[in-house]
Structure 1
Amino acid sequence: MSAHYSEVIVTEKPTVALAFAKYLSDRGYRTIRVEGVKAFEFRRNGLLSLSIGLRGHVLDYDFPSEYNIWAKVDPRELFFTKPILVVREGAGKYVRALRTIAKRTRRVILALDADPEGEGIAFEVMRIMSFANPELEFKRAWFSAVTPEDLAEAIRKLREPNPNLANKVAARMVLDLTIGAAFTRLLTLSVKDELPRGRFLSYGPCQTPVLYFVVKRALEREQHKQKRYYVVVAELLGDGVRFAASVNLGEDREKAAEVFSRVKSLKTAVVTKSERAVVEVAPPVPLNTVELERRASLYLNIRPKETLDIAERLYQLGYISYPRTDTTIYPPTLNLRKLAGFFVSWEDAGWYVRKILSRELKPTQGREDDKAHPPIHPTRAASREELTKRLGEKAWRVYELVVRHFLATLSEEAELERQKLEVDLGGLKLQAEGRRVLYPGFYYVYPYARPEEVYLPYLVEGDEVEVLKVRLEERKTQPPPYISESELLALMKRYGIGTDATMQDHIHTNVERKYFVVREKRCIPTPLGKALLLSLLETVPQLVMPEVRGRMEAALAAIARGEEEPEDVVRGVLEEFLGYYDQLKSKMPTLSERLREALAEVYGSDGRAKGAVAPEGGAKKQVYKRAGRRGEEGFS
């Protein structure tokens, strides 16, 4: 490689690097390899340029190697040990490529994802390339969609890299490493003789509060006391419509039987009350990351992590906008009419899109605006055949959800009629409720949210209805269901556990650790997850309470706003968790006994887990994170 480049564009993914080469080139591009990494040469405005894609972070924080021997290091020492930057495992070729390229240019455009995580990676790139060429100039490209217009606009409006965002990311990495490693080692070493070789008990300041929500709901289920109660149900016929009405008679079986015997042979009932109300149902607000994950779980039965992975791929290929956003308000610069116009012939929605475009657009809006990205929206039309062939059926379903949600935000309200009837059956008042869609409105393009219709006849007070059948049912009160992933994401959002980019990862980590499983959209704790959570809750409850992580996230957000120094935030949080560590350590004899009992139940005598954690890093070597090449210390 001997060419000199007027500029080098570094992206977070190879597909985005290819998009820059395709959309910015004067007359095509040429694929080359730099230190084994695919890159793209092209001419822009007559000058030779290069774009290259990474695979996310290239650097990471770790402890010096001597601190990664668990048996020889008191976990408490980690609170006083400064992590160092190392090359991530598998990222060596990217580091070599960046250093090689740095010597062949004077200008680098950092086109990493436009969020704090992307800014963190941008500063990793700056650190690596500056080491090889201290004279480099760095600029930041910020974009929300991989389209020709968006990428060209990003290049026209380059900005300075933001150290505050990068420092927020670095501070979180340092805190999660230190806190997670210290408590994981303390817990694991306290029961090492009961654990199969190579296995460990992990703790995470985000991971464990998520487990708290799951176990809390499971305990509510266990504490539910089931009760029997009795219901009279009458099947009725009025105005040619068959419907059912019922009344709860309570828990007294004899009294219920007495009432039933009085009414079971009656042939007519009289309407004593008839109510109807027309209600308008507003379309959904624009889509952010958490809502995309929540609705994909609810409507499509696709797990949050898989949803975001698919959305990332759709974004990289130019089908949707950037999928990591908190915003639920369309910015005035977004041409909604143009975007909707892509879908005038799309699937079964084209006729309704044309109707939308025939009037003034009045999109819904939420309350959140991260000032970085618009809500998630489609950036081009694609057919089911095209996307299924290219990315698979699930990708089509996620894309379809994004498109339909976007169109719904531009749509009319739906109109529902809610009905209530009260009928008198021999002095016993029974109730019936109905619902019908009068005008579908946004349901035309958003069938996921359309409610099931229950038809009742149009009757007025005094009308007689025919009694077809009367029965007495014994029913049981039901415990609350296990928490769903949809509910879990909403709680994480409410308490500030993680970010829009990481929430699904914290769920996934618990599943990987075998602390809970997901079945039919519900999160069910394993014996190990439940025992670990309850043990911590009873000894040092702050370690599992979501409010603690919420305060940490608020402090990290202050770094991003430039209101706090990263060193001060890290120091303060570590001092807080050191106090929790000492409390836990003082209660380890009791806690260890509790964990041993749980581990005996989980692993048994043969060392095989019933819902336990899988080994990581092999059986011979216990390390929290693998260290790569040693690097520098400190924040940006």
Structure 2
Amino acid sequence: MTYICKQFLTNYNQKCLPLVRRQSSASLWSLLLNCRNLSSHAITDSSTSMVRVLSVAEKNDVAKNVANILGRGAVRTREGLSKFNKVYEITVGHNTLGNCNMSLTSVCGHLFNYDFGTQHKKWWSCEPKDLFWAPIEQTCGDNNQRIKQTLIREAKRCDVLIIWTDCDREGENIGFEVITVCRSANPRLNIFRAHFSEITVEAINRAFNNLIRPNKKLADAVDVRQKLDLRLGAAFTRFLTLELQKLRPELRDTKHVVSYGSCQFPTLGFVVDRHKQRENFVPQKFWSLEVNYKKNGFNAKFHWKRVRLFCELSCLAIMSKVMDNFEAIVTNIQTKRRTKWRPQPLDTVTFERSVSSKLKINAKKAMAIAEKLYTNGFISYPRTETNKFPPELNLVNYTQLQIDSPIWGQFAQRILNNGPNPRNGNKSDNAHPPIHPTKYAPNLTGDDKRVYELIVRHFLACLDKDAVGFETTIDICVNEEIFSLSGLRIEEKNYLEIYIYDKWSDKEIPQFSQNERFIPDSIEVTDGQTTAPELLTESQLIALMEKHGIGTDATHAEHIEKVKERKYITETPDRRLKPEGLGIGLVDGYDEIGYQMSKPHLRSALEKDLQAICDGLKNPEIVLNNQIIEYEKVFKESLKHKNRLFDAVVRKL
């Protein structure tokens, strides 16, 4: 007993010494346990002086890589109860916990799901409107039971739990699911969270030695979103599907589900809106003038300052006037320095848009590749809203990693010679830095290689200098009508040498002098017509979703894929998004009854509320109840006017 007391007091810096001296042996154990719960440190194993730590990551590969980094390669592997989630054992020293025996394991995303009880789970078990307030429960599915049992087994013999899930809202929520399971097995666990943005030696060691507490507010926001999505999705999906099957019985045989999601519908709405703009577009014919002149081997085409007229007779009248005296006089020559800005650091939305437009890889696949690159330590965490590098990020070190590349090594060395000079944006989520390479990866192949290369080129480009050129504009006057010609001479390509995705080309024009006179080779009337807006690309759709607050940087790709899976939209051969009959009908139907469910305001308001929960400004339960009430109003109107709603849907099938 004496040895245990001394060991305990040493671990707690003798904070409890006066109390211990006043206690009898019978009450000493009770005092030790109470003090243990009050301390911010774990009790050590008195026989080994080692703290027993359980670390849990979101994926097996992350757990394995963290173990290898902290254990410096000295890792013992044993099986978990799930064959996909191993347990890695290491011995590691911590700056406050001391020497630790650590077991690292993982989950596979969320452990739990929200669902209705048996009374409401089946489609025909209740009216869809009942689902807005029906009881829901959180359950662990069969696929996760073995993972759960592994956590319980490991937690029972540990003193400290460290959460290593992804450092975003979703990861924090998964972390609290892990905490729930582990605390059920061991209520005395001291719980920490490791905050990291990349899986590198420096970042993982820094996270381990600067542990923080998990953030319940972030997890609460995800719980609200999950509960609301369950209620809305189930109520509207059952209503839409069952009512449509009554009108079109053949749909029952195909088991076709008309699903609803509060992010899916606004995403669909953007695509339908552009489609309607295109369908309803009425082209207008226009006319213009241009002056052509060849000098010193260069063809100069001067464009009309009026640009165009929509009246042919007016254009012909001006042409007649010009032809009365068609000598041209150079009235103005102006040369200005032009700058083509280098890109800002890469946030998730810019990454998704860039990969979609430049590499022709859809956003969902791009994010899957980025997750794999991150897990393997090649890039930083790919889900970030930040487009400015924090001062503490060592850009020199990250640039140094790339100098061995035969493709961009010389460019990286030039940046090191000049000093990295980032063109920072003004957005920060105060959680993760912009996406950047964390390791040189010469052996990647296929799309993994292409995505990694884009990230590296973007990173190096934003550290270099803007491209510089000089634009010369020449104005001429032909019988009072002004025409203009522009040319460009690039003086310094700078970042364009590495960022092959941006184009900026020299455009040579002949030299003219002020007041110079010449007779044009031709003066012509040209005609054309206005063109309809193109269907949206995935890149443009993501931009609209971000602008209107639909989803988050982490979920844009998921929502787009969902409306594709539901056959509400399809992709054309030139990779544009086209709405199909059912998608158009659903948008038309809700527009018909006066509730624009395809417009972004409802979901956008929810996203703002979720952020307010994260910031501690709003109560989760109040937000959830208010949102349910708002959507319940829409549902009641849908029931009231269902004939008009479904008439519009059926017309498009």
Shorter-chain TM band: 0.7 to 0.9
- 8 A contact 2:589–2:644 mirrored in 1: no
Letter in 1 for 2:112: L
The secondary structure found in structure 1 opposite 2:245 is: coil
* Partner in structure 2 of residue 377 of structure 1: 436
The more displaced of 142-151 and 343-352 is 343-352
Q: CA RMSD in A?
A: 2.6
The secondary structure found in structure 2 opposite 1:38 is: coil
- 8 A contact 1:26–1:42 mirrored in 2: no
Distance 1:481 1:21, change over 3 A: same
Specify which of 161, 177, 192 is matched with residue 214 of structure 2: 161
- 8 A contact 1:26–1:44 mirrored in 2: no
Query: 1:126-145 maps to which residues of 2 (within 5 A)?
Result: 126-145=179-198
1:239 paired with 2:296, answer: yes
- 8 A contact 1:542–1:580 mirrored in 2: no
Specify which of 276, 283, 290 is matched with residue 349 of structure 2: 290
The secondary structure found in structure 2 opposite 1:382 is: coil
Looking at structure 1, the residues matched to 259 and 489 of structure 2 have their Cα atoms a distance apart, in angstroms, of 51
* Partner in structure 2 of residue 60 of structure 1: 113
How many residues align? The count is 590
* Partner in structure 1 of residue 86 of structure 2: 39
- 8 A contact 1:540–1:584 mirrored in 2: no
1:536 paired with 2:590, answer: yes
Specify which of 375, 379, 384 is matched with residue 316 of structure 1: 375
1:463 paired with 2:520, answer: no
Looking at structure 2, the residues matched to 27 and 223 of structure 1 have their Cα atoms a distance apart, in angstroms, of 64
Looking at structure 2, the residues matched to 30 and 469 of structure 1 have their Cα atoms a distance apart, in angstroms, of 83
The secondary structure found in structure 2 opposite 1:412 is: coil
1:499 paired with 2:546, answer: no
Looking at structure 1, the residues matched to 142 and 651 of structure 2 have their Cα atoms a distance apart, in angstroms, of 37
- 8 A contact 1:238–1:464 mirrored in 2: no
1:580 paired with 2:626, answer: no
Q: CA deviation at 1:495?
A: 1.8
* Partner in structure 1 of residue 309 of structure 2: 250
Q: CA deviation at 1:380?
A: 1.4
Larger Rg: 2
* Partner in structure 1 of residue 274 of structure 2: 217
The more displaced of 62-71 and 240-249 is 240-249
Distance 1:223 1:461, change over 3 A: farther
TM-score calculated relative to the size of structure 1: 0.87
Deviations, residues 378-410 of structure 1 (Å, cap 9, x unaligned):
111222xx111xxxx222222112112211222
Q: CA deviation at 1:96?
A: 2.8
The secondary structure found in structure 2 opposite 1:490 is: helix
Looking at structure 1, the residues matched to 597 and 503 of structure 2 have their Cα atoms a distance apart, in angstroms, of 41
Deviations, residues 485-530 of structure 1 (Å, cap 9, x unaligned):
2222222222211111111111111111111123334222112111
Looking at structure 2, the residues matched to 310 and 358 of structure 1 have their Cα atoms a distance apart, in angstroms, of 32
Q: CA deviation at 1:181?
A: 1.4
Specify which of 397, 401, 406 is matched with residue 338 of structure 1: 397
1:30 paired with 2:107, answer: no
Q: CA deviation at 1:41?
A: 2.7
- 8 A contact 2:589–2:647 mirrored in 1: no
* Partner in structure 2 of residue 515 of structure 1: 568
* Partner in structure 1 of residue 37 of structure 2: none
The secondary structure found in structure 2 opposite 1:49 is: strand
* Partner in structure 1 of residue 164 of structure 2: 111
Distance 1:355 1:6, change over 3 A: same
For CA contacts below 8 A with separation 6 or more, give which structure has more relative contact order: 1
Q: CA deviation at 1:586?
A: 0.9
How many percent identity over aligned positions? 32
Looking at structure 2, the residues matched to 34 and 465 of structure 1 have their Cα atoms a distance apart, in angstroms, of 86
Q: CA deviation at 1:22?
A: 1.2
Looking at structure 1, the residues matched to 149 and 478 of structure 2 have their Cα atoms a distance apart, in angstroms, of 84
* Partner in structure 2 of residue 402 of structure 1: 455
Letter in 2 for 1:572: N
1:350 paired with 2:397, answer: no
Deviations, residues 292-319 of structure 1 (Å, cap 9, x unaligned):
1112222222211111111111100111
TM-score calculated relative to the size of structure 2: 0.85
Letter in 2 for 1:23: I
The answer for unaligned runs of 5 or more in structure 1 is 600-636
Query: 1:196-211 maps to which residues of 2 (within 5 A)?
Result: 196-197=252-253, 198-211=255-268
Looking at structure 1, the residues matched to 528 and 125 of structure 2 have their Cα atoms a distance apart, in angstroms, of 60
* Partner in structure 1 of residue 578 of structure 2: 524
Looking at structure 2, the residues matched to 229 and 428 of structure 1 have their Cα atoms a distance apart, in angstroms, of 18
Looking at structure 2, the residues matched to 396 and 268 of structure 1 have their Cα atoms a distance apart, in angstroms, of 58
Specify which of 349, 361, 364 is matched with residue 423 of structure 2: 364
Distance 1:458 1:351, change over 3 A: farther
The secondary structure found in structure 2 opposite 1:242 is: strand
The secondary structure found in structure 2 opposite 1:37 is: coil
Distance 1:130 1:179, change over 3 A: same
* Partner in structure 1 of residue 335 of structure 2: 276
* Partner in structure 2 of residue 616 of structure 1: none
1:20 paired with 2:77, answer: no
Looking at structure 1, the residues matched to 454 and 64 of structure 2 have their Cα atoms a distance apart, in angstroms, of 27
The more displaced of 81-90 and 556-565 is 81-90
The answer for unaligned runs of 5 or more in structure 2 is 1-49, 93-98
1:482 paired with 2:528, answer: no
Looking at structure 1, the residues matched to 122 and 73 of structure 2 have their Cα atoms a distance apart, in angstroms, of 55
* Partner in structure 1 of residue 145 of structure 2: 92
Specify which of 543, 554, 561 is matched with residue 608 of structure 2: 554
The secondary structure found in structure 2 opposite 1:243 is: strand
* Partner in structure 2 of residue 603 of structure 1: none
The secondary structure found in structure 1 opposite 2:86 is: strand
Looking at structure 2, the residues matched to 277 and 555 of structure 1 have their Cα atoms a distance apart, in angstroms, of 48
Looking at structure 1, the residues matched to 308 and 354 of structure 2 have their Cα atoms a distance apart, in angstroms, of 38
- 8 A contact 2:60–2:84 mirrored in 1: no
Distance 1:264 1:302, change over 3 A: farther
Deviations, residues 15-44 of structure 1 (Å, cap 9, x unaligned):
111101211115522332211233143322
Distance 1:265 1:97, change over 3 A: farther
Looking at structure 2, the residues matched to 526 and 518 of structure 1 have their Cα atoms a distance apart, in angstroms, of 10
Looking at structure 2, the residues matched to 478 and 242 of structure 1 have their Cα atoms a distance apart, in angstroms, of 28
Q: CA deviation at 1:429?
A: 4.1
